[in-house]
Amino acid sequence: MAGLFARPAEAGGVQRDAQRQAVFLEFKAVCVPLLDAARQPTVAATTRTIVELLNKLTRLIEEAPDDLFTPALANYAFFPLASLLQPAVGGADRGDLVLEATASTLAALVPKWRNAGMEQRVRQELWIMVALKLGGPLDPKGPKQAGKVDKGKGKAIERTEEASLALVRVLLALMRPAGRETASVGQDEEDSLGENIDWDKVDPANPSPFARPPLVDEDRPPPVPILFHTLTTLLTLAAEPTSLLQLQLSSLEALDVLFAFYLSRHDLSTTSAPAAGPSPLLATALPGSASTLSRIAVSKPSSSQRADQDHRRRQAIPVVVAALECLARLIIQTVGDGLTSDLRSEDGSQGQAPLASLEELVTGQHVNGSSAEGMDEESGEAGPSTSTEPPPAPPAGPTIPTASWLRFTVSSLSTLFSALSPLASHDSPTVRIALVDFLSSIISRCGQSLDEAVEGPLEGLLLLASDEWDDVRGPARRVLLAASTQPTGDTIESRHPLALAARIVRRRLTGLPRSLRQRDEQAVRHGAGIVRSALEILPTLQAGDTGAGVFEGIDRWSWMLLDAIELERVPAAGRAVEGGMALAWITGADATETSQTAATFPPIRLRGISESKTVEALDSLWQALGRMAASSERLGDAAEQFLGAALGPRRGDPSAVTSLWVLDGVLRGAQVDQISKTNKKVLRQTVRAVLSLLEELEDVDVDAPTDEATTRDDVNVEHLEVAETDGATPQLIVHTAGVIGTTSLDDYKPVASVSSLREARASQRLLLEALALRLLATGASLLGSSFQPLLMQALYHVLAYLSPTTHPFLRAYAQATLQAISDATAYALPQNLVLANVDYVVNSVSQHLSVSRLEPSAPLVLVEMIRLVGKPIVPMVQDLVDDVFEALDDFHGYDEITVGLWAVLDALLKVMEEDLPPPRSHRAKDAAQADADSDWRAFEKWYVTRQDQAKGDEDDLEEINPQRPFKSGFKSNKEREDGPAEFPSDTVTPPTKPQVVTAQILSKAMYFLSHQSPFLRARVLSLVASAVPLLARPALEATTTAGTRASDLLPVIHRAWPFILNRLADPELFVVVEAAALVESLASHVGEFMARRILDDVWPRFRILLTKQELEDRKSAIANSTRYSSSHRLYRSILRTLLQVARDVPLKEDVLWEQAVLARRFLSVKVDPKLQVCASELYKALGLINPDAIWLVLAGTVGLEASLPVHLHILDLDFGSNVDLLLEQL
């Protein structure tokens, strides 16, 4: 035996001893002064010395080799640390700085010590000391708050977060188990020769007890009270939001170790519990720990912390992730499927007791499912099971897991899963990813234990499967697909994940109305996301019986859902569009609007819903329903259900509008690559129903009295009172003594104004029409080329709502609808779509302008058609004009229809006018308007030669003889017989089609210049002014002036001239403005024919208008403030007309003087710049006729010389440099 236990070689032992001695001396150089400093009084210098020495000791411990670190050295290093952990001399506190440094050194020492071989007693005492130091002393009334030091007399001070972190790290070092495999394998392999054995401690008589580290199973934790005290302390530290993030993370890490290696052990419990089941300690710790960890995850303070403002800040993202991981480990190690198999089998055997009949229940034979309990042993008759004694108190000690405990725990966990649902909408995707991992772990490892409570995690995964981040959505979808495809096995069919998902869908659909009425937008988004994910991911829900079941019960949940959703009312829906039918006339500003068609529909807004994400979530839900309906061939059921609300008697309810919105989402969701014949048939029927709805809405008068079908549900018509403002009804005042009674709200009757009800009805109609247009666009997108048979009727309605007279909200929907239809029917632009179907549009308008069906808005469809198509419609204007003339003959007595028809003709003229070349600039004829010097020289020459004898007649004629025979004008004998082929001088160019149409329109317009409607008179005058350049100017492709049709224009103007002159004296100023614009157009284009007539007939009226309007402008502050005012337009037309007349006709002296005097005020700098330019051009033209007179007027106006007439001087106007520039140019 001596040879077997012989000592190792002397050289190796001496070298190791020397190394150990060197390490010991290094430790001694630090520990001795550290121990001496620990015994000194607590002062700043001592504290600084202690901290420096502790930092040196920490470095020594970390740098010391593991094979040289012995338990004796660990005890030697711990001795000064133990002194520092004790109170200082006199009981003074050493401070958190010393405590932090001491704990940091101890945290570095413990792992080395445990590897070298720490005694269990020392480890337990250290654990107890650190736990009490961190969480305070044990208190039977309740645990102290961690991180606070009790100073007596109810006082407590906060410990620094750094000190608490150092203590938690010590606790972690003590709690982490040393691996059995590491210790044993290391000794067997690395020390196979026994070199690491301390042979001095080996007794030769008993060589078995060697000084080697203990195994893991020999590491005993502290007593159970200390374990739970540690648990409470760590939970408190983890739940406290701090700026030192590592404190919370270390606390959660320590909790994880505590759950995994200590509370899950059965041998620590004093109760008798099966070793295969859940640990009693863990079952006891589960409720409070799970509650605290869930509060950490959702950043919700505890009841004792809610009053503190500091606890209201959110937890950091790493803390939330760590809390979820710790909570998952806690639940899995408590109610995992492998741990609860016996409890579940026991619960199933107890649930198979025979069922009791009603008679047995009445006689009390069965109480709690068992007839043996409650039997009277003496009489043998059934007796009551109640007792007068109070129920026994629960036994002290850990909770014993039983079947009833499992049921209660599962019920509590279902509440816990609901409390974690806000994390699904957390701002950070990292937290949502952690939630996916948590829920997937619970489902995969605790699914059988949770039984039907797994519905909560499953519902959470469905919500996360609709997340916008792929890193969140992808894992959630994979887990759901794996759960849905798992075999049924022994699982009850109703508890399979697919059955639970179907139950979730039905419950969420029925719960959406309540969330909507409560304005809980987050709940609405969650519910919609859950249902959408279930319908998209789970294959059985898409096409199986379960999916069909959702639509089988559509009549049960759809009405509640539609009643709970109400679209936001359209602003100013009951107010007529400003301008009325005047907007139907194309102006210059409309030319750019035609090419800017909206590509998308305006966003949907719901009443009581402020966030657009909620509306988007609901819209996504409708699309998911549509995809499921299309795959299960149940699209017809959905269309029939939702169309019934809009087409039925409840059309006036908000639910009718909501139903169209839902149906549109369902149809958009049904858009797949290949639509089945059944679904195509449903789509065609839906489009026809929507078109019939639009036809009916056109016949409904918004101002009609409210009937039962259009009354709001929240106002009782029988008890409705309209608010009166005349105060006719006296208010009764009753004086009572004593307590004043307050009238209940039920005693008050609802008061509603007639205007608000009218506004509601108008908004309801606008929303119905808008969503009907949106349904047309969706139907066209789905049907594609199959939409062509419905295009004629649909295009009429779309163009009707595109009119400027329509409400802007509805017009935006019409623009988007037209764009969608053109895309669906393979047209590049909406203009191409309308141009290709012009005949259909005209035919539809003719049908709506018949005697049996007369719609005033029908001509507006033609106006909008012309507005969209533009110049390409010119070749087909003849047929369109004939139809308009026929309608004018039939319905000229209806002002609204007449205005619309003339708007069509005006639109045609505006479009045809685009082909005309620009007007030629007018150049003054210097020969006809010579200056005064040339006239004087000519007079002198004549005066000198006036007496000369005139030459003879023979001298006046030149001797011109042809010298050869005249050449014949015929090129051949055939031409001699038939005559010349052409005579250019007598050739008349035939009129173009636009010119023929324009002449017809002018002939028709003469009868409407004296119409009773001032608006129509003004618009016809404007139309004639637009027709003048079409006949006076040649077409764009004409090369000579022979293409003009002045011969067609002037006779019509001659016949209409008296009416035009009468319109210059019209009582309505806007009519006068249009008449002046017509005279300006005549002067500009046919001035050589009309100038003298204008000068004789129009100038006297212009003179009166200028004088009268000047007086009116003085009464108005905004007359000259804008160039769009009627006064500004009138002045501009008069000045331009006078300019054209002055260029074409020599003016008399008195007329020239009057014009020069009356036009002076337009040279003022306060006048609009455009009017100043017009006035300057007029004075230049007048100056060419008589510069002396114009110089006298302008010079007298500004008082250039004292000798000038005083009555010409104007003192109250500032002319700036306008007059000076004109005087220089004269």
Does 255 lie in the same domain as 149?
A: yes
Kindly state whether residues 1135 and 1181 are assigned to the same domain: no
User: Residue 621's pLDDT is what?
Assistant: 92
Lowest mean pLDDT among 149-153, 208-212, 870-874: 208-212
Mean pLDDT of the 1172-1181 span: 90
Maximum average pLDDT range among 201-210, 600-609, 1209-1218: 600-609
354-368, 440-454, 523-537: segment of lowest average pLDDT: 354-368
| 222 vs 979, more confident | 222
Residues 6+ apart with CB under 8 A from 962: none
- Distance, CA of 455 to CA of 495 (rounded, Å): 9
Tokens describing residue 915? 């082909």
Average pLDDT of the residues in 876-896? 80
If asked whether residues 1133 and 1168 sit together in one domain, one would say: no
pLDDT of residue 329: 93
Determine phi and psi for 203, rounding to 5 degrees.
Answer: -85, 120
Q: What is the pLDDT of residues 796-853, one digit of tens each?
A: 899 989 888 888 899 999 999 999 999 999 898 898 998 888 888 888 888 888 777 7
Helix, strand or coil, per DSSP, at residue 535:
helix
- The continuous run of DSSP H or E covering 157 comes out as strand 155-158
The b/e string for 658-671 (b: 16+ C-beta within 10 A; e otherwise) is bbbbbbbbbbbbbe
Looking at residue 652, its pLDDT comes to 84
Give the C-alpha separation, 183 to 215, whole Å: 7
Query: Which ranges in 711-753 belong to alpha helices (H)?
Result: none
State the alpha helices, DSSP H only, in 565-670: 612-631, 635-647, 654-669
| Residues 1125, 1171 share a domain | no
Within a domain: residue 159?
yes
Residue 451 falls inside a structural domain: no
* Separation of alpha carbons 326 and 292, rounded Å: 11
Residues 1140 and 1169 in one domain: no
pLDDT of residue 750: 55
Whether 347 maps to a domain, the answer reads no
Q: Looking up tokens 């929507």, which residue turns up?
A: 690
* Residue 589 within any structural domain of the chain: yes
Q: What is the DSSP string of 76-123?
A: HHHHHHHHHHS--GGG----HHHHHHHHHHHHHHHHHHHHH---HHHH
What average pLDDT does the segment 975-985 reach? 49
Q: Note whether residue 737 is domain-resident.
A: no
| Predicted pLDDT at 667 | 92
Strand partners, 158: 148
- Tokens (6 digits) for 638: 């959905």
Burial of 900: CB neighbours in 10 Å, binned 0-12, 13-18, 19+ = buried
| Final residue belonging to a domain, choices 266, 285, 308 | 266
Asked whether 172 and 252 are in contact (CB, 8 A), the reply is: no
**At 956, which helix (H) or strand (E)?**
helix 953-956
CA distances from 530 to 172, 443, 463 (A): 41, 17, 5
The single residue listed with the structure tokens 């119409």 is: 1011
Task: Identify which has the larger pLDDT, 555 or 592.
Answer: 555
Residues 169 and 246 in one domain: yes
**Are 1141 and 1184 found together in one domain?**
no
Boundary (domain end) residue, out of 1092, 1111, 1145: 1145
pLDDT at residue 591 in the model: 42
**Average of pLDDT values for 496-511?**
85
Give domain status of residue 950, yes or no: no
pLDDT at 85 over 80: yes
pLDDT of residue 733: 55
Q: What is the per-residue pLDDT across 396-438, written as a single tens digit (0 to 9) for each?
A: 567 888 888 898 999 999 999 989 988 988 899 999 999 999 9
The answer to whether the beta carbons of residues 320 and 299 sit under 8 Å apart is yes
Q: Average pLDDT in the 1061-1088 region?
A: 89
Is residue 947 over pLDDT 50?
yes
Other CB atoms within 10 A of residue 774 CB: 24
pLDDT > 70 fraction of the chain, expressed in percent and rounded = 73
Q: Is the pLDDT of residue 353 over 70?
A: no
Q: 3-state class of 158 per DSSP?
A: strand
Confidence band of 389 (pLDDT split at 50, 70, 90): very low
Cα 1054 to Cα 1030, 1034, 1071, 1093: the distances in Å are 17, 21, 20, 10
SS3 150: strand
pLDDT-derived band of residue 703, with 50, 70 and 90 as boundaries?
very low
Structure-token pair, residue 85:
């952990």
Q: What pLDDT, in 10s, does the model give residues 315-350? A: 899 999 999 999 999 999 999 888 888 887 776 554
Mean pLDDT of the chain: 77
With left for phi above 0 and alpha for psi between -120 and 50, is residue 155 left, alpha or beta? beta
Least confident stretch, 128-137, 295-304, 735-744, 1123-1132: 735-744
Q: What is the SS3 assignment for 825-873?
A: CCCCCHHHHHHHCHHHHHHHHHHCECCCCECCCHHHHHHHHHHHHCHHH
* CA 742 to the chain's CA centroid: 45
Kindly report the backbone phi and psi dihedral angles of residue 4, in degrees, each rounded to the nearest multiple of 5, phi listed first.
Answer: -65, -40
Q: What is the DSSP letter of 803?
A: S
Tell me the β-bridge partners of 721: 751
Same domain as 1169, residue 1141: no
0.75 exceeded by pTM: no
* Interatomic CA distance for residues 562 and 606, integer angstroms: 12
* 132 and 221 housed in the same domain: yes
* Domain presence at residue 33: yes
> Per the structure, how many domains does the chain have?
4
DSSP code, position 631: H
CB < 8 Å & 24+ apart, contacts of 1012-1017: 1012/895, 1013/895, 1013/898, 1013/899, 1014/1066, 1014/1068, 1014/1070, 1014/1071, 1015/581, 1015/582, 1015/899, 1016/895, 1016/898, 1016/899, 1016/902, 1017/1063, 1017/1066, 1017/1068, 1017/1071, 1017/1074
List alpha helices for 1145-1217, DSSP H.
1149-1158, 1169-1185, 1187-1198
Q: Is 728 helix (H, G, I), strand (E, B) or coil?
A: coil
The whole domain housing 85 covers 15-189+214-266
**Three-class SS of residue 567?**
strand
In a domain, 412, yes or no: no
Q: How far apart are the first and last CA of the chain?
A: 144
Question: Strand, coil or helix: what is 486?
Answer: coil
- The reply to whether 1213 and 1105 lie within a common domain is no
Q: What's the rounded Cα separation, in Å, for the pair 134 and 114? A: 21
Whether residues 633 and 561 share a domain: the answer is yes
**Which residues have C-beta within 8 Å of that of residue 130, sequence separation ≥ 6?**
103, 167, 170, 171, 174
Asked if 616 and 664 sit in the same domain, the reply is yes
Question: 1116, 1145, 1174 — which closes off a domain?
Answer: 1145
Model pLDDT for residues 466-481, shown as the tens digit of each residue: 888 999 989 998 988 8
Per residue, what are the HEC states of 171-203? HHHHHCCCCHHHHHHHHHHHCCCCCCCCHHHCE
